[in-house]
Amino acid sequence: MPPVFRFAPSPNGYLHLGHAYSALLNFQRAQDAGGRFLLRIEDIDPTRCRPDYEQAIYEDLAWLGITWELPVRRQSEHLPEYRAALARLQAMGLVYPSFESRAEIARLVAQRDADGDWPRDPDGSPLYPGAARQLSDAQRAELMARGMPYALRLDMAAAVARVGEVSWDELGSGPAGETGVTIARPEAWGDVVLARKETPTSYHLSVVIDDALQGVSEVVRGQDLFQATSVHRLLQALLGLPAPLYRHHQLIRDGDGHKLSKSNRATGLRALRAEGVSSAEIRHRIGLV
Ligand code: GLU
């Protein structure tokens, strides 16, 4: 079977040089390996994703000379598949609802920080500080009946206890040079959100389901997602899904060494194209010739 690669942007802004690097690297790997290249639109967040950004993704990638298989998988069209996976995790007793608002969470974190430093996840966000795991079924039912918004969280300690140690084969490298067989550390993320009242999935859950359903054999993506791979491997182990190979690549940074952002016009592919920059120049700028 030919290897399968994918580029999976979220249509919540215009693509920038970092996306061009990731997409071209994926496309190149697929060509070199005689593999397939898929484009996936990660649009589960209706508050941030827009059809014009999605359209721009197609235009910008085509302009770079990239071609992909049709039909494109759009996550918003597959919510029942994510809901089914979530239900399996719920049936294992690994998911619980938490009802705190953002403001309440911030207050709890400040309190915990005052008692001693409360841990942050690898992205720098505080771990979930609440005690919702201890609510009784009756309390949960009552809060839900009152129409309270909630997040569905993975009981990380129970999930880790269930699968034991998991690892992945890193073909690229992590931010600290990690490479080869890499032991996952999902507990560093705490009780991650897997879904919300209004959305039956999250980035972590849908990416794992889609990579498995699409038969992705090598995930090529930026080092900013290296640590998230620990959560992905844990979910794959819980759901009995195969582990792809992972190749995390360096991030393209701006002149000051900052990560590129979708809101910075200076490195946006559309803006560069409008200024008359050619796609060959883009490849040159990101070190792909
Ligand atoms: N949709 C994610 C993003 O735009 C990438 C997901 C992935 O490559 O795993 O950052």
Residues 91 and 229 in one domain: yes
Tell whether ligand 1 has an atom less than 6 A from the beta carbon of residue 159: no
The domain in which residue 62 lies consists of 1-77+253-289
**pLDDT score for 124:** 96
Q: Say if residue 177 is in the same domain as residue 279.
A: no
pLDDT tens digit sequence for 126-181: 999 999 999 999 999 999 999 999 999 999 999 999 999 999 999 999 999 999 99
Clarify whether residues 47 and 153 are in a common domain: no
User: Which tens digits make up the pLDDT trace of 212-264?
Assistant: 999 999 999 999 999 999 999 999 999 999 999 999 999 998 888 888 888 77
User: Ligand 1 centre and the CA of 145: distance in Å?
Assistant: 35
d(CA 209, CA 211): 6
**% of the chain residues with pLDDT over 70:** 100
144 lines ligand 1 (CB under 6 A): no
Q: Are residues 222 and 86 in the same domain?
A: yes
List beta partners, residue 6. 38
pLDDT, tens only, 172-206: 999 999 999 999 999 999 999 999 999 999 999 99
Model pTM greater than 0.75? Answer: yes
Q: β-pairing, 36-41 with 73-74? A: parallel
Angle between helix 203-213 and 79-91 (nearest 10): 110
- Does residue 272 sit in the same domain as residue 172? no
Q: Report whether pLDDT(280) > 80.
A: yes
Check whether residue 204 and residue 266 sit in a common domain.
no
- On whether both 94 and 235 belong to a single domain, the answer is yes
- Please calculate the CA angle 151-92-94 and round it to the nearest 5 degrees: 35
Residues 165, 285: one domain?
Answer: no
Inter-residue contact 238 to 184 (CB < 8 Å): no
Same domain, 262 and 133: no
b (16+ CB within 10 A) / e for 223-253? beebbbbbbbbbbbbbeebebbebbbbeebe
Whether 177 and 55 map to the same domain: the answer is no
Q: Please tell me the residue having the least CA distance from ligand 1 atom 4.
A: 9
Instruction: For residues 161 and 20, state if they share a domain.
Output: no
Q: Ligand 1 centre from 263 Cα, in Å?
A: 17
pLDDT at 261: 81
CATH number for the domain harbouring residue 218:
3.40.50.620
Helix, strand, coil content of the chain in percent (nearest 5):
45, 15, 40
Span 10-63, pLDDT tens digits: 999 999 999 999 999 999 999 999 999 999 999 999 999 999 999 999 999 999
Does 112 score more than 80 pLDDT? Answer: yes
> Is the distance from the beta carbon of residue 43 to the nearest atom of ligand 1 less than 6 Å?
no
For the cut 80, the answer to whether the pLDDT of residue 289 exceeds it is: no
91 and 193 part of one domain: yes
Number of domains in the chain: 2
